[in-house]
Amino acid sequence: QVQLVESGGGSVPAGGSLRLSCAASTYTSGFGCVGWFRQAPNNQPEGVAITGDDGTTTYADSAKGRFTVSRDNTKNTVSLQMNSLKPEDTAMYYCAADRRLCRGFDWTQWTAFRYRGQGTQVTVSS
């Protein structure tokens, strides 16, 4: 049973930074696609960023220029560095992974990922 455990969430003022981490219970090198989603109250899950097995990255427009996704296959972790945070970034953030390549499915759909974490809360105050 593959498990993904997120950490690093918290409360920060607008303009601040946070670094989220996702620890996998298996080798992340086996994941063709890993990434992050977020869900604000009363909203659908939103794909934030993904990284493929070759290190390529894709970001939602809302994350471009501010967030950086990365994976460390030596530590079996996936990270999301978030800078210049805004109040609208407030949400529960989830890690997601799949053995398929990112280009092989619609990565913007939360339910398309085979493995999903339980989330970590990020709150940005104005």
pLDDT digits (tens, 9 = 90+) for 109-119: 999 999 999 99
Contact 97/114 with Cβ under 8 angstroms? yes
pLDDT digits (tens, 9 = 90+) for 28-76: 999 999 999 999 999 999 999 999 998 899 999 999 999 999 999 999 9
Nearest Cα to Cα of residue 87 among 6, 7, 11:
11
